[in-house]
Amino acid sequence: MSEQPDSSAVDGDIVTEDELKPSVALELRRSSAITIPATVDQMAALGDRGVEVIQARHQIMDTLRKSSILLTYPDDWLLFRTREGDVFAYLQDSGCDRVAPLWGIEIFGVSEKPERIVAEDKSFAYVVRGSGRCSLTGQTVENMEGMRTSTDDIAKNLTGIQQEYTVRKSARANLDGGILRELAGLKRVPLQALIDADPTRQWEQRAAKGRGYGSGGQRQQEREGEIDLTSPVPSCQKCNGPMWDNRRDKKNPRAPDFKCKKQGGDPNCDGAKWLEKKTGGAPPPQTQTSRPAQNEPPPERTDEGTTAAPPQRAAAPPAANPTAAPSGGAPPPQHSAEEETRLRRTIKAQIKGKKWNAQQTQDLIDEYLEACGLEKGGTLDNLRQDSLQEMHEELMKN
């Protein structure tokens, strides 16, 4: 055996074994080998390093969520639309299978045999119970249930043993999926988060549609482009309050497309709007028409036959007086001081209710304050009525 060379010798041709080993820095850091700060006190004791730890955790969680979305297909998601028009996605059981390995999901304490429940009409359901743990976050959920019935779409056309088997297996898949959705936060994902993760995929077009998208027939109608579903929800023309969007789920075709939420100060407001049907090949109408209430003058119309547009943001520096009307465009509607206070309060509540990113919201407020000729750093209270309204509409569009 040859003699080990002296490692202290300075010789470019002699390399010690230690030097040939891979850099220790490149070895994987195992969580068991390091102490992980967990409590706020432990974080605080680390000083700046504590902030770094939080940042690293935030980054990892963000990467995990986005990676989870990238591992799925649009068909794995089910979309729901709220009455306010916000769209959320629910990861179906098929998609959960793709994501589970990433999160290190562990499912344990599963009921040995699924429970079979028979209803009076002889339809039946299987229920499986179990608990789950995520090895990455350390979170645990206990005694969750997975259930499927023989009347579910997946089994309703089957009979006999085939139906029995399908319902039973789906119940277990539902438990597995439920645990993953709970632990990975994939139960109610904003559609925008899917689009942000990969804008090239057709998330909305290819995903299954659930509540808020109307019946299959209505969706067909939508596809055929008979009604315009893309326009933003307008404010009530009577009380200027928010309106319900009934375009997708109205059962009666003669029912109004938008109906007042009665939050604009008048609890008896009966404001309603109907959309014009698109005519063959014509572009969708830019604005909506309103059916005038009895004994009330028709809405103001422009020369093109449309209702007056909201005031445009002034290009030129606006007047110093924050309550002054902007130059150009139609004058803002006149309200009493009491009405205006109520209106401002409603709009501010709605803007805050959008739960925007705090920094982005402040940037937007600053932008409007600047347009009003005021100093940056103010709050919504400093905004002019028309700027507030315009900002509200812009946020609602987004």
Partner 1 sequence: MTLSLMDQARELSQLITATWANELLKKRRPPRPHGHVYAGGWRACDRRLVYDMRDPGEAKPFSADTLANFERGKDRGREVVIDLQRVGRVADFEVYGQEERFELKDRKGRTVIVGKTDASIRYGDLVTRAEVKNWNPNLTARIFTFKDLFLSPWTRAGAYQLLSYLYGSNQQVGFMILDRPGIPRILPVVLEEYLEDMEHFLSRAERAVDHLEAGTLPDFHKDPDECKRCPFYGWCNPPLKYDGASIITYDEILMMLEEREELLVSGKRFAKLDDAIKKALRGTEIGIAGPFLLSGKWSRNTTYELPDDVKLKYKKTDEKGKFTLTITKVTQPVKLDEGESE
Site for partner 1, rule CB under 8 A: 23, 25-26, 28-29, 31, 51, 54-56, 58-60, 62-64, 66-67, 70, 97, 100-114, 126, 128, 130, 134-136, 161-162, 165, 168-173, 176, 197, 355, 357-359, 362
How buried is 232 (Cβ within 10 angstroms: 0-12 exposed, 13-18 middle, 19+ buried)?
middle
Non-local CB neighbours of 292 within 8 Å, separated by 6+ positions: 298, 299
Q: Nearest approach, Cβ of 89 to partner 1 (angstroms)?
A: 16
Q: Compare residues 130 and 212 and give the one whose CB is closer to partner 1.
A: 130
Q: Compare residues 162 and 327 and give the one whose CB is closer to partner 1.
A: 162
Q: Compare residues 29 and 251 and give the one whose CB is closer to partner 1.
A: 29
Q: Nearest approach, Cβ of 360 to partner 1 (angstroms)?
A: 9
Q: Nearest approach, Cβ of 108 to partner 1 (angstroms)?
A: 4
Q: Compare residues 93 and 222 and give the one whose CB is closer to partner 1.
A: 93
Q: Which of 238, 248, 236 is nearest to 79 (CA)?
A: 248
Question: Which long-range contacts does 292-298 make (Cβ < 8 Å, 24+ apart)?
Answer: 293/238
Q: What is the largest CA-CA distance in the chain?
A: 110
Q: Nearest approach, Cβ of 277 to partner 1 (angstroms)?
A: 32
Q: Are 143 and 107 in contact (CB under 8 A)?
A: no
Angle subtended at Cα 190 by Cα 185 and Cα 192, rounded to the nearest 5 degrees: 130
Q: Compare residues 9 and 26 and give the one whose CB is closer to partner 1.
A: 26
How would you classify the pairing of strands 208-209 and 77-81? parallel
The Cα-based distances of 378 to 55, 298, 382 in angstroms read: 29, 38, 6
CA distance 348 to 333: 18
Q: Compare residues 26 and 337 and give the one whose CB is closer to partner 1.
A: 26
Q: Compare residues 94 and 289 and give the one whose CB is closer to partner 1.
A: 94
Q: Nearest approach, Cβ of 328 to partner 1 (angstroms)?
A: 34
- Residue-wise DSSP of 3-15: PPPPTTS--TT--
CA distance 305 to 303: 5
Q: Nearest approach, Cβ of 358 to partner 1 (angstroms)?
A: 5
Q: Nearest approach, Cβ of 189 to partner 1 (angstroms)?
A: 12
Q: Are 260 and 241 in contact (CB under 8 A)?
A: yes
Q: Nearest approach, Cβ of 158 to partner 1 (angstroms)?
A: 10
Q: Compare residues 109 and 298 and give the one whose CB is closer to partner 1.
A: 109
Residue found by looking up tokens 């057709």 in the block: 202
Tell me the residue type at 236: C
Q: Nearest approach, Cβ of 118 to partner 1 (angstroms)?
A: 17
CA distance 209 to 87: 10
Write the DSSP symbol of residue 211.
Answer: T
Q: Are 271 and 260 in contact (CB under 8 A)?
A: yes
Q: Compare residues 55 and 323 and give the one whose CB is closer to partner 1.
A: 55
